[in-house]
Structure 1
């Protein structure tokens, strides 16, 4: 009897593993003081948002699967944002991070946040 229960459980588990899962969104974000960087799945869009009235601007960086770094700047002050879209293979491993800028130059960044395109 135990053998039949174990076999039934093993077959059910195996069937669960091979069933297709629905596609899920791979949108995610990264933050640092006064800045949010967001990746929007589907449109493959990177957005930099300045979230603080602190005199600093915002930048979002994308680390592509090939190692290249792309940067989007939001330099209009608190509440401003800017976006750019990129052509990246679906479900490729990518990373983003949020950075503070001063005079259009990056002065500091938060850590990389890993996700998928």
Structure 2
């Protein structure tokens, strides 16, 4: 049941991301490709910008999944009552979700710094 639930949620989120690749480039939940390459030739800057948007989209999806897991854990703790198994499972899920969220935030900062360093700002008169 959990696999079906997470599959449906991830498909719902991914459909909105993929819809950004249709005819209108700037539509969709998270637009990954926002500009076309000049004269059909893509530069390294365009590649790094697309990579940066892709990583941000993955971080947004990961944060959403971490929040959903934390909510499921909280409901398990609330509805556990005298069932120690549900209480322990819910606490473990909430701790894992918070840990995952912190790791995702740190990874986002690290990738932003790294990709901003790789993508120099060029001045073209």
Q: TM over 0.5: same fold? A: no
Specify which structure has the higher proportion of helix.
2
Specify which structure has the higher proportion of strand.
1
- TM-score, length-scaled by structure 2: 0.22
Name the structure, 1 or 2, with higher relative contact order (CA <8 Å, separation 6+). 1
- The structure number with the bigger radius of gyration is 1
